[in-house]
Amino acid sequence: MRRKLSLDEVEELARLALTSAGASMAAAASVARSTRLAERDGIRSHGLLYVPIYAEHLECGKVAKDAAPAVSETRPGAVRVDAANGFAHAAIDAGWQAFTNAARRCGIAAMSVHNSYNCGVLGHHAERIAEAGLVGLCFTHAPASIAPTGGKQPVIGTNPFSVAVPDGDGGALLVIDQSASVVAKSEILLRSRQGEPIEPGWALDAEGNETTDAVAALAGSMLPAGGYKGFGVGLLAEILAAALSGANLSTEASPFSGTKGGPPGTGQFFVAIDPQAFGGDAFAASMTRLCASITAQDGARLPGRRRADNRRRIEEEGVGVDDALFERIEALTRK
């Protein structure tokens, strides 16, 4: 059975579950907002489904309950945040004002985050940059799950990147959000929990053979999108989000699922660009022409439109939640 929740109810349910598990009010609010946005856009794998995992990781110590992010400005356009093994969302919030102010002041700025954790839907962070009138370019990495082309041993995570462009009206004109893998690992985790097979071409088993068994895939390697080119994109994210940020490498990070290992210590790297410092007003005009060349074609759509369509529908209809998941999260709020 399924029930309907409003987005406000989704956010409040997540917040209560996280504070009950020991998260600070600020951290719980940041993660609950991320949960709301994921459900709003129809990205179930990063929505309420993840709340019990967040709570479990607070209780086992993979996420520090008392984390206090430390923000430093190491150069005029460089912001560095130590997440202190707490939630990435709270660390990103802590550095956000300094980061966006630096971008407006310098024309371009970057923010790195280390000693961090899963940051939720990366595209939402890029979109937030765009909503501030800046071009956003975001990278994050994850525990190793993709082997190099020709190899069997995972070296990098699914390592997504995201780009968002402002629309000049407080929103995002387009949002690109894609991982180095054919599909997000959370989708395979979801299929494994539901006992469903994965699609051909998504993953290899531990012996390097293609598999449609979700459990075998989790013990093996995700396949990169576009073969060696996808691995290259993931390596780019690894260089920026892990090595440059001073985080653990993907091979050194503990899993984002289960209780094995201590804090994953992963990282993020964000870049914000003020269009006025470079293309000026010509940038908006160029983007209008570029987007028109896409949308003018029958059947073509801008990146991010599917999420936008989901957003409109779910904001009106509410979020469908399995009773079992709802009851599991509600039980967390009563601890």
Catalytically annotated residues: 45-46, 187
Q: Quick one: DSSP state of residue 4?
A: E
In whole angstroms, what separates CA 230 from the centre of its chain?
Answer: 18
The answer to whether residues 208 and 160 touch, using CB atoms and an 8 Å cutoff, is: no
- What's the angle, vertex CA 144, arms to CA 138 and CA 34, rounded to 5? 40
Q: Taking the chain, what is the end-to-end CA distance rounded to the nearest angstrom?
A: 24
In the numeric block, which tokens belong to residue 149? Answer: 């082309």
In the numeric block, which tokens belong to residue 275? Answer: 């269009």
On the 0-12 / 13-18 / 19+ scale of CB atoms within 10 A, 70 is middle
Q: Measured between alpha carbons, how far is residue 247 from residues 3, 32, 150, 254 in Å?
A: 40, 24, 27, 12
- What's the angle, vertex CA 87, arms to CA 320 and CA 98, rounded to 5? 110
Q: Quick one: DSSP state of residue 45?
A: G
Would you list the DSSP string of 218-274? HTSEEPBTTTHHHHHHHHHHIIIIIIITTPPPTTTSPPSSSS-SS---EEEEEEEE-
In the numeric block, which tokens belong to residue 18? Answer: 């996280």
Q: Measured between alpha carbons, how far is residue 76 from residues 73, 125, 134, 210, 248 in Å?
A: 7, 22, 17, 48, 26
**From CA 335, how far away is CA 331, in angstroms rounded?**
7
In the numeric block, which tokens belong to residue 154? Answer: 């995972």
- For residue 2, the cross-strand partners are 322
